[in-house]
């Protein structure tokens, strides 16, 4: 191997460009739990904390409390119990009330050169999801809007360009 690796370093990903930040806030928290426990939760603006995954009877509220003042709800967090503390990363999310949404947990609206496509739980649908369509059109000419049901008619939404 040569002493000066030259351009080969770029192939390995060493470019000087930092990785995109995964978390908006990271905290270490003292709370009950067993080493190795993993929990995902969503904190909502109304104060509710929804357990997305983890032990069925686990209450994630004590893990969300230290984030007050650091990040405004709604946010999604992932927590892993270390031997004595919880390591928790949280990132802000966007939510939208869709009272007239069709039954299904995953909604998707795609607008591209072929036209408008709506999927509900991965299956094509004739439903009109005007709120999601407007959200996408406000940002991009062609887009995909994904909405994942959190609870009742409240969805987590993401808008991406195509």
Residue ranges per structural domain of the chain: 25-92, 96-161
Per-run averaged pLDDT (10 residues), the chain, 162 residues: 55 61 91 88 95 88 93 96 93 95 94 95 93 95 97 96 94
| DSSP conformational letter for 112 | E
Strand ranges (DSSP E) for the chain?
25-29, 38-43, 49-53, 75-81, 86-92, 94-97, 106-112, 115-120, 123-125, 143-151, 154-161
The partner residues of 97 in beta bridges, in order of sequence, read: 154
Encoding tokens for residue 3? Answer: 């002493």
The pLDDT of residue 7 is: 56
């Amino acid at each position: 191997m040569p002493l000066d690796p030259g351009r080969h370093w770029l192939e390995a990903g060493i470019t000087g460009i930092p990785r995109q930040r995964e978390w908006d806030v990271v905290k270490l928290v003292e709370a009950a739990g067993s080493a190795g426990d993993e929990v995902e939760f969503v904190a909502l603006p109304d104060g509710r904390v929804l357990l997305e995954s983890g032990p069925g009877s686990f209450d994630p509220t004590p893990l969300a409390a230290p984030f007050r003042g650091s990040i405004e709800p709604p946010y999604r967090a992932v927590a892993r119990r270390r031997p004595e503390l919880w390591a928790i990363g949280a990132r802000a999310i966007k939510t939208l009330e869709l009272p007239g949404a069709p039954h299904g947990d995953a909604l998707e609206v795609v607008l591209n050169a072929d036209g408008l496509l709506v999927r509900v739980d991965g299956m094509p649908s004739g439903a009109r999801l005007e709120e999601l369509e407007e959200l996408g059109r406000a940002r991009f000419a062609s887009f995909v809007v994904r909405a994942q049901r959190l609870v009742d008619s409240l969805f987590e939404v993401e808008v991406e360009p195509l």
